[in-house]
Amino acid sequence: MDKRFTTKENPIILGIESSCDETAASVVCGRKILSDEIVSSADIQSLYGGVVPEIASRAHTDAIAKVVERAVKNAGIDYSQIDAIAVTYGAGLLGALLVGVSFAKAFAYALNKPLIAVNHIRGHLAAAYLQDETLKPPFITLLASGGHTAILHTKTESEFEILGATTDDAVGEAFDKVARVLGLKYPGGPNIERLAKEGKNTVPMPQMFKGNGGYNFSYSGLKTAVINYCHTKEQKGETYEKADVASSFQSTALDVLVKKTVAAAKERKVSTVTAGGGVVANGYLRTALTNACEKEGLKLVLPEKRYCTDNAAMIASEGLVQYKLGNFADFDLTAKASIPLSATLKTVQNKA
């Protein structure tokens, strides 16, 4: 426990996020969101088919002061009322992260308030705390983003176990790569979802439940199968329905997530399920998870779509978890391009 600062029950925390192409700032009071601001450079990035790190860094530099100022103003507070500043320090694009980290350090120093270093992925998990103010561990979480796919068992606010994770590509990454083959723009996930609504599940996909992989996942086989299907059709000069490919891929990629998440909750005898990460904004996944949890009598805490994709409210929410643990950062904090899922919290490694 850090003794430099006394802590409050419901502190006002400013969260700052700049790990990829969104510059975001949010003010929360306890688990209540007072403001949530976001500026994205996705439109510029889509011209290049993906995120160009240097363009992202420049866009963050241009936006950060304005975004933070707006977040504080719209929260209806003065700067002096902020109790702590939480910032994403990793994982992500180094240059992009550095913009947020440098800004947060200067801000915390000027206000003489504690600085909290947040692991971006832990932020995605903490989004559920904002959705349900009464949410308490234990719960099982499905984490599905552009960089991670995992099922976690949170036992206390400071202790969780990784039950399974992807052994190769993350599910969001598979969406983005398949989107590219289908000629859809970045970011691929929402565009596949849109196209899939017009299609049918008629394209054969590889089996995702083979073997006894436990709670692990593998997406590289599925991604390759879709790419091969499209390329073979094109080489033979045959036409195919892109919407059917999108629909077949989407359900194959997402059904396995639902099935394993619910199985983990049942096996662990945990009655609450949460989810987080950009892919959880997908309507097909949200409906399937809601139906499966309802069928099994599990309580599901599903963050609103805007709190599944990158945002700063989730960073402030994880900031609150760390604040309560007295886990404050020093001013030598630096950005990290990659950090393990378990960083900053005590974890129990899965022995299975």
State the residues that interact with ligand KG4 by CB under 6 A: 124, 145-147, 172-173, 175-176, 187-190, 193, 277-279, 281-282, 309-310
Scan for tokens 């950005």, then name that residue: 335
User: Which of 36/310 has CB closer to ligand KG4?
Assistant: 310
User: Does residue 173 bind Zn ion (CB under 5 A)?
Assistant: no
The order of strands in the sheet holding 149-156 is: 299-301, 272-276, 139-144, 149-156, 159-165, 346-348
Q: State CA 272 to chain mean position distance.
A: 19
**Least distance CB 59 / ligand KG4 (angstroms):** 16
Which of Zn ion, ligand KG4, none has residue 303 at its interface (CB below 5 to 8 Å by kind)?
Answer: none
Q: Which residue is nearest to Zn ion (CB)?
A: 310
94-111 and 53-74 are packed helices; what angle lies between their axes, rounded to 10 degrees? 30
Which of ligand KG4, Zn ion, none has residue 176 at its interface (CB below 5 to 8 Å by kind)?
Answer: ligand KG4
Angstrom distance (rounded) from CA 308 to CA 38: 13
Angstrom distance (rounded) from CA 345 to CA 331: 20
Tell me which residue of 309, 349, 335 sits closest to 119, measured CA to CA.
335
User: Which of 248/282 has CB closer to ligand KG4?
Assistant: 282
**Least distance CB 159 / ligand KG4 (angstroms):** 23
User: Which of 19/113 has CB closer to ligand KG4?
Assistant: 19
Scan for tokens 């599925």, then name that residue: 222
User: Which of 175/229 has CB closer to ligand KG4?
Assistant: 175
Q: Which value, in Å, is the radius of gyration of the alpha carbons in the chain?
A: 20
**Tokens linked to 35:** 């403001």
**Least distance CB 91 / ligand KG4 (angstroms):** 8
Binding-residue pattern over the window 295 to 314 for Zn ion, x denoting contact by CB under 5 A: ---------------x----
Binding-residue pattern over the window 54 to 93 for Zn ion, x denoting contact by CB under 5 A: ----------------------------------------
User: Which of 101/245 has CB closer to Zn ion?
Assistant: 101
Burial environment of residue 25 by CB neighbours within 10 A (0 to 12, 13 to 18, 19 or more): buried
User: Which of 12/162 has CB closer to ligand KG4?
Assistant: 162
Angstrom distance (rounded) from CA 290 to CA 277: 16
Residues, the chain: 352
Residue ranges in contact with Zn ion by CB under 5 A:
145, 310
